[in-house]
Amino acid sequence: MEEKDKQPLRAGVLEWIETIVAAFAIVTVVFTFAARVITVDGGSMEPNYYDGNRVLITSLAGEAKRGDVVVITNALDETLIKRVVATEGQVVDFDNELGELIVDGTVVPGDVYGTENGITFAAENREDILDFPQTVPAGCVFVLGDNRDDSSDSRIRSVGMIDRRNIMGRAVFNLYPLSKIGPVG
């Protein structure tokens, strides 16, 4: 093969390599700063998310609001996935007879968030439970797991109110299992 024939081949290969490197850099930046795939660990979000489910989260989806599923850092030793049930200035309480969450004096039945009604209590007989009612401070949210009987969430002192700066992102898309693939909500 003559040197003239090798030039277009070399240019084509270099062009492909540049394209691959650029694509890799873009994907790395997106998945480092804009979006991440999170694997649910444990059963605290059942029946909506099970151990091993995968969700796409992003910090670019706007500020977390009531009902959003968020991923939280710096609350316990592990990363948490929980649901925001109250935002700053709202008063959180529990009706232990009905087994329901109360926000600003209004009962919020479990089925509002896809859980069972009558399973939400202020976890009695534990020393590490906050006293209720509680007002959510400025810049914070109150979170609960959907599996209210098996969830380390804002009811316990070691988690407490979640500073918005510790929210890694909101769940925006279900990736796995394939039967649940699609936008969250």
What CATH number should be reported for the domain holding residue 104? Answer: 2.10.109.10
pLDDT tops 60 at residue 16:
yes
Binning pLDDT at 50, 70 and 90, where does residue 121 land? confident
Instruction: Verify that 17 and 62 share a domain, yes or no.
Output: no
How many CB atoms neighbour CB 112 within 10 A? 14
pTM of the model: 0.81
Instruction: Verify that 13 and 90 share a domain, yes or no.
Output: no
- The residue segments making up the domain with residue 93 are 40-178
d(CA 147, CA 167): 20
Binning pLDDT at 50, 70 and 90, where does residue 52 land? very high
d(CA 13, CA 113): 53
Decide if 71 is inside a domain.
Answer: yes
Look at residue 34 in the predicted model and tell me its pLDDT. Answer: 72
Provide the number of structural domains found in the chain: 2
134-177 pLDDT, tens digit each:
999 999 999 999 998 888 899 998 899 999 999 999 999 999 99
Instruction: Verify that 80 and 136 share a domain, yes or no.
Output: yes
Look at residue 5 in the predicted model and tell me its pLDDT. Answer: 63
Binning pLDDT at 50, 70 and 90, where does residue 88 land? very high
Per-residue pLDDT, averaged over 89-111, amounts to: 93
The mean predicted confidence, pLDDT, of the chain is 87
Which residue bears the tokens 């529990």? 94
Look at residue 4 in the predicted model and tell me its pLDDT. Answer: 61
Instruction: Verify that 122 and 143 share a domain, yes or no.
Output: yes
Instruction: Verify that 30 and 45 share a domain, yes or no.
Output: no
Decide if 184 is inside a domain.
Answer: no
Decide if 185 is inside a domain.
Answer: no
Binning pLDDT at 50, 70 and 90, where does residue 2 land? low
Max mean pLDDT range (29-33, 88-92, 123-127): 88-92
Instruction: Verify that 28 and 53 share a domain, yes or no.
Output: no
d(CA 69, CA 139): 17
